[in-house]
Amino acid sequence: MSGYQHKKGKIKNNAIEALLHDPLFKTRIEVNVKGKGSYRRKAKHNNKAGWEASGKANFTTGLLVSKEALGAIPQARACTSYPAW
Residue 74 lies in a domain: yes
Whether 21 maps to a domain, the answer reads yes
- Over residues 18-58, the pLDDT tens digits come to 777 787 777 888 888 899 888 877 766 667 666 665 555 55
pLDDT tens, residue by residue, 55-73: 555 555 555 556 666 666 6
- Per-residue exposure over 14-28, b if at least 16 CB sit within 10 Å of its own CB, e if not: eeeeeeeeeeeeeee
The Cβ-side half-sphere exposure at 49, using a 13 Å CA radius, reads 4
- Could you tell me the pTM of the whole model? 0.28
Distances from the Cα of 75 to the Cαs of 8, 9, 19, in angstroms? 69, 71, 74
Q: Which residues contact 37 (CB under 8 A, 6 or more apart)?
A: 31
Determine, yes or no, domain membership for 45.
yes
Q: Which domain holds residue 72?
A: 15-78
Confirm whether 7 is domain-assigned. no
Q: Is residue 42 part of a domain?
A: yes
Structural domains of the chain, count: 1
